[in-house]
Amino acid sequence: MSKSLVVVESPAKAKTISKYLGRGFTVKASVGHIKDLPKSKLGVDVENDFAPHYGVIPGKEKVVKELRAAAKDVESVYLAADPDREGEAICQHLAEELKGKGRNIYRVLFHEITKQAIQEAFKKPGHINSNKVEAQLARRILDRLVGYKISPLLWEKVRRGLSAGRVQTVAVRMIVEREQEIRAFKSEEYWNLVARLAGAQPPEFTAKARLFNGEKWKVGDEETIRGIVDGVKDAQFVVKRIHRREKKRYPVPPFITSKLQQDAASKLNYSVKKTMVLAQRLYEGVDVGDEGSVGLITYMRTDSTRVSEQALHEVRDLVKSKFGEAYLPHHPIYYKSKKTAQEAHEAIRPTSVDRSPESLAPYLDRDLLQLYTLIWRRFVASQMNPAVFDQTDVDIDAGRVEFRATGSIVKFNGFLAVYEEAKAEETQPEEGEQTVALLPELKEGEILSLVELRPTQHFTQPPPRYNEASLVKALEANGIGRPSTYATILSTIQDREYVVKQDGKFIPTETGEVVTELLVDSFKDIFNYEYTARMEDHLDRIESGRERWNDTMRNFYGVFSERLATAQKEMRDLKSEEIETDEICEKCGRKMVIKWGKFGRFLACTGYPECKNTREIPKVCAIDANAALSDETEDLTCEKCGKPMVLKRGRFGEFMACSGYPECHNTKKIVKGAGEVTVKHDIALGELCPVCGKNLAIKHGRFGEYTACSDYPDCKYIKLKTTGVACPNCGGDIVERKSKRGKTFYGCSRYPECDFVLWNKPLPEPCPLCGAPFILEKTTKRTGTVRSCNKEGCDYKEKVAATA
């Protein structure tokens, strides 16, 4: 019988840890939080010093029962959740449920799941940090008060189902305000002038105009640039000044959470959520052959750049042996963390730098290996010498214009031999901007030959929309949220449909803009950037024991309750609001007004309820300004009712829709490419619809092509792809289907009467071992194509050779 029980959050973590502990330990998983505030009510007693009413989360009763049973006869319980506020709260709730007479309860902390780290942690167990628990409690109650107090107000003023979030609303505000900047932006014309020149020695090189009549270059129209070109082309190009200097580029610190999320988004095109899921797997443990399951990186939710002395010695030894003495600094490099960083944590690094990405390639799938490689390379590069460049600036006189050519040669690549940080979108060079190049040997006073003089027209661009990397960077810069919350923030604002992601960029929905406007107007303090950042600082102060959580709550609620009372009286009531227009109802001739409904603004007849005519208001589209509508797209008419089709934007992007909506529901998919927007037309088939008798057609939807009735969606018939395999439950056909998120699966054609489903493709071939009527086929990038039997107890599994 075990003398001790160890409780962690996840089964994967439990599996890895159990290897390193002796037989006297039983390791169980709580599978995340076991207690929370109730969903059905506020759960916070505001009148009684904000006392929370926690209860076991519905569905977790079985887990709690099993943990109590496991703790029944043990002497000690070790709580080993993650080393952050959420982990501390999980441990507190577990302690409340597992305490018993004479039973010792310990808190175990470790920042990497390796044999040495685990065994060291269990030698020196501690106790639950009440300050951390209170900081998490304060955050939970703050979020609950904002969400549960403001959401009913939005239901009353706008529509049911809307919700507000203390931090998420501020994130949406950033996206909305960026969109407003883009709309208000007025593009201005400007011209650059580039000269291609040749000296006495090759190669030819380019120089860009920087001064005109001794002042900074600024030309805004074609007439001016033509005059300048005419004056310069006959001028003598003389080398005026040569400035040579050595330039160093220093390595960057090892990853903290936000920087990992940004680099993974920029370099690997991973979403923040995907990055954190993969990092969690690397932290909790992956099977790497003879070693078994082992944690490959340190804890992935951190804002500290600190690295342990042992890890520094390891990485310095690797740099010396793999790259040589020239790449190794004389002393270890120590990086400074932010003031708010928790220095008890380490940066995100490999648990052993000797586990190179190449050595782990056979054991990690593609996504895990790419993320691990990114972490490994950044950590190694952080302890290497800077890169050194020889940079030369050459100023060239040409009459009234002075040009500059810049050349650079890598003298020593240093840390760039391993890693280069991804550039933010805002710092990418614009089209036509001069880049650093190789220059010939030049002398001051040398006369150059003009090969080509090229004026180029440009237009100033609006600020770019946020992508995941730049939004995380902006949140971090403004002090909004913490490393552990960024993934949740980005997921929540999309799940609530306040923003959509199009071509990787965030665009606010109409609902998102309206709700943000109402909340910011009514709660200027609460949804203010500085106020939200200060609240994070208050939570940090609670965690460090410098502030009482009750005091923080009282100060917040005093302001919040006043704003809430005012908003209930003064917030605009969109439900009853009607905005007059000059539009005339085509059914009764009365004027139409703009109203707000479940799906946003719409036109409605003032003759309601006698006349119930409504009309959709075309949404503002987000088509790239450089992408033009094809002639076919601009003149497109609906083949069902003859009315013009218009460009609209919905939840999943732009599409063409009949202007006769809601009477006609016809839509068409559009494709952006080669600077043009074109329409995907239906392809008529000779086969007839079994429901209405009209022709079937190949259509184009959100997840690709499908075959349906040409009258779809008025006729709902969709022809499903059959696999040729009979359903083992009822004898129906097993057909290919799509989930709500576009993932392919296979189910019985008689659904919902029969709910038989498979995730892997069934093939109409009998199993060679047991004779089952069909086998399954699965293809992945890592394993290729594998066939197996679906029958329980049958071990048939075969890898299929790839074919050309």
Q: Is 299 a catalytic residue?
A: yes
What does DSSP assign to residue 54?
-
The whole-angstrom separation of Cα 189 and Cα 37 is: 57
Strands 775-780 and 76-79, by their bridges, are unpaired
Residue 426 DSSP label: G
Residue of 228, 227, 237, 235 whose CA lies nearest to 206: 237
Separation of alpha carbons 725 and 735, rounded Å: 8
CA distance 224 to 514: 45
End-to-end alpha-carbon separation of the chain, Å? 58
CA nearest neighbour of 776 among 760, 753, 792: 760
Q: Which two tokens stand for residue 450?
A: 């003009």
Evaluate the omega torsion of the peptide bond into residue 766 and state whether it is cis, within 30 degrees of 0: no
- Cα(139)–Cα(85) distance, integer angstroms: 10
Residue type, 51: A
CB 296 within 8 A of CB 284: no
> DSSP states of 330-389 as a string?
SS---PPPPTT--TTS--B-BS-TTS-HHHHTTTS-HHHHHHHHHHHHHHHHTTSPPEEE
Q: For residues 94 and 416, what is the distance between their CA atoms, to the nearest angstrom?
A: 47
Query: Which of 200, 238, 196 shows the shortest CA–CA distance to 441?
Result: 200
Is there a contact between 438 and 391 (Cβ–Cβ < 8 Å)? no
Cα 368 to Cα 371: distance, rounded to the nearest angstrom: 5
List of residues 6+ apart from 596 with CB closer than 8 A: 158, 159, 514, 574, 575, 577, 602
Q: Kindly tell me the burial class for residue 245, based on how many C-beta atoms sit within 10 Å of its own C-beta (0-12, 13-18, 19 or more).
A: exposed
Q: Are strands 104-107 and 76-79 parallel, antiparallel or unpaired?
A: parallel
* Among 106, 283, 299, 419, the one annotated catalytic: 299
Give the CA count within 13 Å in the CB-facing half-sphere of 63.
Answer: 20
Catalytic positions are: 299
